[in-house]
Amino acid sequence: MVKTKREALTVRRLIEDILVAQLSIPSKQIVNDTTFKKYTGIKRPDLLISEVEFDGENETQFVQNLVAYAEVKDNCSIDDADWKDAIKQGKEKSEKLKIPYFIVTNCKTSIFYNGYLGKEIILNGNPIREFQNIDILRLIKNGLQKTPEMLNIHTSVDSASTISEATFNKKLWELARIYRAINFENAVEKIDFTIGFIALEYFEEKSNIEKTKDESEIYWSDCNDEKSEVVIAKLVQYIQRLDSETDFRDFKKLMDVVRKLISSSNGQKSKIHKNYVVDIYNIIDSMKPLHGCGFDLFGAVYERFASKKEKKQFGEYFTRRPYAHIFAKLLLKDEKFFNKERQFTILDLACGTGGFLTECFKVLHNNYLQSDTLNKDAEKFISKTCFYGVDVREENISRTKLNMFLVGDGHTNMFRDDSLNPEKIWKYKEYDYIITNPPYGNGTIKAETSSISTVRTEIAFLCKIIKLLKLGGKACVITPDGVLENPTYKKFRKDLLEKCNIDYIVSLPKFAFAPYTKEKTYALFFTKRSKTITKIQKKPIWAYIIDNDGLANSDKRFPTKKRNNKTGWLHNEILSWVRTNGEEVVGKLEGRWGTFDDSLTKGTEWIDDKYIKRKLRKCGFLDISKIINDTYMTLMPEYWLRPYEAKNITLIEFEKRVKKLQTEVKKINEIKSDV
C-alpha cells in the first residue's frame, strides 16, 4: 500500500513538473491510472497522453487520438524484472490501444519502444531517455504508423533541439537543489564547475566515438563507486590525466575549478561535501549521451544559474538559442550539400560563449545529413576547418571551445584576440560567412570608415566585418537601432548601401535581450559586393518585424507556450512545429523569408502574448529609391512598415491638457516649498 501511494505521488510529480511545466503538454490531455475497459480490460494503462482533453465520458475520442502511452514502474532499474514486465505489458496494451509505440519509465529514465517489435526507438541516431514534447510524440507515432518496423526516427524540426534542451534543464534543476547547500563564490564559479564536470563525462563519450579509448587509462565511468572517497579520488586522478591531454589542455581552467571544489588541500576540507560530489556525479552521468546535443549547452547552464545581477559579471548580452538557431539557419540556407572542392569559412569575431557557432555547426551537420553528403570529408570539414571564433576574453574562448566540443566538435580554431585591434595574424584575411552579436556603446577604437568619425563599437565592428568578408560573402549581425536610424549615421548607412547589398533586416522584440538590456535590436543580413564605394544597391530590402518569440514581452521573459494544432505556435514566430498528422512545419519567419509581403492586405493578424488580437504590417519590401530620398536614409523596418500616425486634437482639448499639467507642476512646487 505504501509503495502504491509513493508511486502515485512520483507519477503526479512527473506529470506536473515534467510533462506540464517543462514540456507544455496541457494537463487535461494527460490521464493517469484510469481504466479503459473497452480497450485494455481490467489492465489499466499507467499514463496516456492524447490530442484531446478527457472529460470522463469521451473515452473513445480520447483513445483514438492518443499520442503516447507509458507504463510507470517506480523504484525499478532498467532491464530488471519489473522493467521487463513493463515491456511485456506495453506490447500488449499498445496493440489494444492501437498506438504503435509505448514508453517505460521509472520517473528518472524513460525509454521508448516499438510496439510491434518491442525494441528500443532512437531519435536522430541518439537514444531517448526522457519524455518528449507533443511535437516529437506526433513524429514518433505517425512515423511508426507508416513504417511499423522503424526504429530510428529522423527529424529536422526545431523541437528536437528544444526537447533535448528541456531534458537537460530537468537535470540542471536536480543540480540546483544540491547547489543550495554549496557556498559557491559566485555564479561564474557555479557555472564553470557545472560545465567542467559535464566535460569530464563527455570526454569519455568522444573517446568511444572516435575509437581512441585506452583501456589502461582512467575514464569517467571508472570513477563510479559506492564509496564517496573513491569517487572523489578517481575524479581527481582523471582530471590530472586530462590536464596532460593535447585535446583537453584548452579546458584546464574549467578542470581546475572542479578539482579545487571537490578535493581537500593544505589541511582544509573541500568546499563541496563528498556526498554531494557523488550526487552531482550521478546526475551528470544520467545526462548521457551528450554527443551532438544540438544546443548551446553553456548557454543553458548560464540561463539556469546566473541571476540578472550575476549575468553582468560576464559583461555580455546572451543570445538566446532560438535566435541563434534561426539566424544561423537562414544565413546558411544555401549550404545544403557538402562539396569537397568548395570549403568555406564561418567566423564570429565576438563569439562570447560560442552560441552562434554551435548553432551553425548544428545547421551544417543537419543539412549534410539530410542531403546524404555527411561523409568523412564533411565531418572533418565542420570539425577542423570551417569554424573560427575570436573573443577579447580568454575565459570566453575556453567556454566556446568546450561548447563546440560538446555540440560535436569544431573547436580547433578558437582564439583570444581583440577583433578591432588584433595582436595576431589571423589564418584568413577574408571569410565567406560572418555571424555575430558584437558589443555596443562607446569604445576606444575608431571605426575604419571615411563616412563618419566615431568610436562606437557597433559601427567599428560593422566596418571590420565588411573588411573581413570576401566579395560575395554574407553576414548576419545583431545591431542596435541607432545604426539604422540615428541621423548622425546617415553617411555611414549610405556607405553600407554602396559597398554591400542589404538583403534582409529583422526587427527583434524590445525585450529580446531582457533582462540584460531593453535596447531595440535588429538582425542585419547583407552581402559584400565591393571593397570600394560604388553605386547604391538597387535591389529592395526585405524587412520583417518579430512581435512574438515565444516569451512574454517583459523583463521576466517567461514562456507563453500557447499554440493550436492548425496554426502551431500562437506567440512564437521562430520555432517550427508538427501537425497532428506528423507533418513538419517551419516557423513563420522561415516560411515567409524573403517572399512574403502583407502590403496588399494592409497588415497581418496575430495574437499577442496577452491574448489580444492585433493587425499591423509585419513584413515586406523596402523600396531603395524611397530610402535614398528619405531625409536620414532610415533603415528601420518600423519606420516604413508601421509609420507613426499623428493624432490631432481640438484646441479645447489641448487647453484642458495644458491646464492639467500646470496644476500638477504647481502641486510639485508646493511640496518642494514645504520641504
Our CA angle for 43, 44, 47, nearest 5°, is: 145
pLDDT for the residue numbered 449: 92
State the pLDDT confidence band at 293, using cuts at 50, 70 and 90: low
pLDDT for the residue numbered 1: 38
Would you say residue 88 lies in a domain? Answer: yes
* One domain, residues 86 and 40: yes
Would you say residue 307 lies in a domain? Answer: no
pLDDT for the residue numbered 341: 93
Mean pLDDT, rounded, of the chain:
86
Distance, CA of 369 to CA of 337 (rounded, Å): 9
pLDDT for the residue numbered 585: 85
pLDDT for the residue numbered 308: 59
Grid cell, residue 486, equals 540615428
* One domain, residues 390 and 491: yes
- pLDDT > 60? residue 311: no
Q: What is the mean pLDDT of residues 57-81?
A: 89
> For the chain, what is the domain count?
4
Would you say residue 652 lies in a domain? Answer: no
* One domain, residues 329 and 452: yes
Query: What pLDDT, in 10s, does the model give residues 533-558?
Result: 889 999 999 999 999 988 888 877 77
For residue 525, the tally of other CB atoms under 10 A from its CB is 23
pLDDT for the residue numbered 247: 66
State the pLDDT confidence band at 344, using cuts at 50, 70 and 90: very high
Grid cell, residue 601, equals 492586405
Instruction: Point out the least confidently predicted range of 19-28, 446-455, 485-494, 663-672.
Output: 663-672
* One domain, residues 501 and 406: yes
Would you say residue 515 lies in a domain? Answer: yes
State the pLDDT confidence band at 164, using cuts at 50, 70 and 90: low
* One domain, residues 149 and 172: no
Q: What is the DSSP string of 38-56?
A: HHHTT---SEEEESS---S
Distance, CA of 221 to CA of 47 (rounded, Å): 33
* Most confident of the ranges 10-14, 247-251, 287-291: 10-14
Grid cell, residue 228, equals 564517496
pLDDT for the residue numbered 204: 86
* One domain, residues 444 and 472: yes
3-state secondary structure of 585: strand
CATH assignment of the domain containing 449: 3.40.50.150
**Of the residues 154, 179, 200, the one at which a domain ends:** 154
* One domain, residues 278 and 350: no
pLDDT for the residue numbered 2: 44
Query: What pLDDT, in 10s, does the model give residues 126-136?
Result: 778 888 888 88
Give the H/E segment covering residue 438. none
CB 434 within 8 A of CB 327: no
* One domain, residues 109 and 52: yes
Instruction: Point out the least confidently predicted range of 111-125, 313-327, 642-656.
Output: 313-327
Reduced DSSP (H G I as helix, E B as strand, rest coil) percent helix, strand, coil of the chain, to 5: 45, 15, 40
pLDDT for the residue numbered 398: 81
Three-state DSSP string of 472-524: EEEEEEEEECHHHHCHHHHHHHHHHHHHEEEEEEEECCCCCCCCCCCCCEEEE
Would you say residue 188 lies in a domain? Answer: yes
Query: What pLDDT, in 10s, does the model give residues 236-267?
Result: 999 988 887 766 777 778 888 999 999 887 66
pLDDT for the residue numbered 446: 94
Place of cell 547604391: 536
Place of cell 540546483: 176
pLDDT for the residue numbered 541: 97
* One domain, residues 339 and 400: yes
Would you say residue 110 lies in a domain? Answer: yes
Would you say residue 305 lies in a domain? Answer: no
pLDDT for the residue numbered 246: 67
pLDDT for the residue numbered 150: 92
State the pLDDT confidence band at 316, using cuts at 50, 70 and 90: low
Q: Is the peptide bond before 127 cis (omega within 30 degrees of 0)?
A: no
Would you say residue 173 lies in a domain? Answer: yes
128: left (phi over 0), alpha (psi -120 to 50) or beta: beta
CATH assignment of the domain containing 54: 3.90.1570.30
Q: What is the mean pLDDT of residues 11-37?
A: 83
* One domain, residues 144 and 172: no
**Of the residues 114, 134, 154, the one at which a domain ends:** 154
The runs of H, that is alpha helices, within 386-501 are: 394-407, 457-468, 482-485, 490-499
* One domain, residues 502 and 583: no
Q: Residue 240's domain spans which residues?
A: 166-285
* One domain, residues 103 and 234: no
